[in-house]
Structure 1
Amino acid sequence: MIVDEFWEPAENISAEIKIKRSIFIAHISVARTEEDARQFVTHISQKHKQATHNCWAYRIGVDPPHEYSSDDGEPNGTAGKPILGAIQRFDVTNTVLVVTRYFGGIKLGVRGLIEAYGEAASNVLENAGKIRGRLGSRCNIQIDYPSYSAFLYQLKGLGVEEGSCNVTFEEDVRVSCFVPLSLWGRVEAFLCESQNRSFIKGWSRE
């Protein structure tokens, strides 16, 4: 089964919490490539270069996602993994999350660090919210005017959302629509058959 639906952060924001005088500032951003994620980590690390630590994790893509995390000098497994765990529990991808820590003079211990970084990450994830996305491609179709309404009706019946279609009226009708990855097999078969029957004049996939 092809998985094409995913969730990603709705906003790029920061959120701060304070635990035993240490300040934890969590920064979240959408990143659709690992390079984008690492650039965001570098940006936050430079912005907060006076901080004690800038720990981070990212999760990119779907089926399977690419995941990575870093403790940035904190004890092994106490920062990067809790941050990544929060991202996984929130069920988002295309996500990079950096938690900046300014040490307040009181040591938290291993368990305390795990809980603090996890709480900071969960807090910013909740504040950012999430939106649905789908993998797929745009399809451009040329249709004669008499076939236009019937064609769109059949395309909608295959699962293509009418709201994803942009229509322009020229010498013929031009339809540009988004086709989710899981629908491409049957949509492609329908388009080929329609062109063979001269129901449409032509089509292409971006």
Structure 2
Amino acid sequence: MEKEIHKYLTIEKESISELVVDRSRFIAHSFSVTYQEMVREKILQIQSLYPDASHWCYAWRLGHNPPLEFSTDAGEPHGTAGRPILGSLLRSNLTNLLVIVTRYFGGKKLGVRGLINAYQQAAEMVLESSGIIEKELTAEFVLTINPTSFQLMVNQLIYFCRSKKYLELNPNLGKIRFRVPLHRLHETFAFLELKKKEEFLLNWERCDNQ
């Protein structure tokens, strides 16, 4: 029987670093992410921050057992950008993070090996400045709340979760996103089903990758 995993490694903080190779600038950003919508938001954020960049190459990993992962060369020659960035995440066994490396072309082609080395080094630099931390695995849920019960449901969730830091509120849409440790999963299912029967909840769904 496989041992159940309750912890994972990820970055301690979001960071930025820059590498210059033959006048080409490689600006690397690291982000903590827990779902794909967050990934898309961060990519759009970087693209609007550097609208005139030559390339926005990135890799991400989400979840566990096994993690979802993705990388893209974003117009660079095949295998020269996304895979080297992803390789840096894999070597440190990290998940729930996104690394984007923005390139400004400096006028001189670096060649396949030069690009691989540059993107890999840029990714490793930003990971080093981000630090690594061990975190407890959580399950993530999105709730659709009866509008008349929104604040009451928030209060009950704060009590259930023992902290408000695990809650992400969107009262305009009547949505609450929250996380609980995996060892409380069955307890959470029972809690949510009870609140649905009591008509505090219109619907709930688990939205992590498990």
Counterpart AA for 1:4: H
**Aligned residues between the structures:** 152
In the alignment, which residue of structure 2 is the partner of 1:162? none
* Inter-CA distance 9–109: structure 2 relative to 1 (3 Å threshold): same
| CA distances 1:44-66 after superposition (whole Å, capped 9, x unpaired) | 01211101111011101111111
The normalised TM-score by structure 1 is 0.67
Superposition deviation, residue 91 in structure 1: 1.8
Number of the residue aligned with 1:130? 132
Find the partner of 1:58 among 57, 60, 74.
Answer: 60
Q: 2:101 aligns with which of 81, 99, 102?
A: 99
Residue equivalent to 2:80: 78
1:28-177 mapped onto 2 (5 Å cutoff): 28-136=30-138
TM-superposed CA distance for 1:79, in Å, is 0.4
**Structure 2: gaps (5+ residues):** 140-161, 164-178, 193-210
Q: Which residue number corresponds to residue 14 of structure 2?
A: 12
**1:124 aligned counterpart, secondary structure:** helix
What TM-score does the superposition give when structure 2 sets the normalisation length? 0.66
Q: What root-mean-square deviation, in Å, do the aligned CA atoms of Structure 1 and Structure 2 show? A: 2.4
Runs of 4+ in 1 over 3 A off after TM superposition: 178-181
Change (3 A) 1:133 1:103: same
Q: 1:3 to 1:75 in 2, by over 3 A?
A: same
Percent identity between matched residues is: 42
Assess if the C-alpha contact under 8 Å between 1:60 and 1:95 holds in 2. Answer: yes
Look up the match of 2:26. 24
Cα 1:29–1:179 change in 2 (3 A) is closer
Deviation at 1:42, TM superposition (A): 1.3
Q: Please report how far the alpha carbon of residue 184 of structure 1 lies from its aligned counterpart in structure 2 after TM superposition.
A: 6.0
Q: What SS is found at the alignment partner of 2:29? A: strand
